Amino acid sequence: MKTDNNPFLGASQAALAAECARMSRELNAPARTSEDRLERRHRVSLLLSAASARLTPATNGHYVSRHEIENDPTDFVDAYLDSHIELTRQNRYRILVKAAIAALGPARAQDWIRDSRVGDPRGKTYEMAQDSDDGLRRVLVHLAALRS
């Protein structure tokens, strides 16, 4: 059991969501041994730690502290603009998830978000949706066409 690093840190929000869903299914199955239970507990702990770090409103992976912006006034604007950009990306992703669930149903939505390629076959759909309002609009138009 690894304790020195977290394999989920740095994972995209979609990857974390997929892993959370997988872990939820796994936790519903009985563990065979006490070692299995301990390993699951450890992985859930790592996953929750990474998910909470990913969901925290952040700038470059950390909070904007008063100390950081008090020392250099030019950092004040940059820190808050960077935070705005990250929060906007997170909100676009949340809108994508809601739209995918509405269009495809909860059972298919996460797989579609993870695997689909709208437009450029080299890029992930969720990345397009997160990167700009125009990208989100293109993905939403595609989802509207897929509705059952």
Q: What is the pLDDT of residues 80-137, one digit of tens each?
A: 788 788 889 989 999 999 999 999 998 899 889 888 888 777 778 889 999 999 999 9
CA 32/CA 47 separation, integer angstroms: 21
Residues of the chain with pLDDT > 70, as a percent, come to 82
Token readout for 36 is 């299995």
pLDDT recorded at residue 62: 45
The reported pTM is 0.55
Q: How far is CA 57 from CA 30, 62, 106, in A?
A: 35, 8, 26
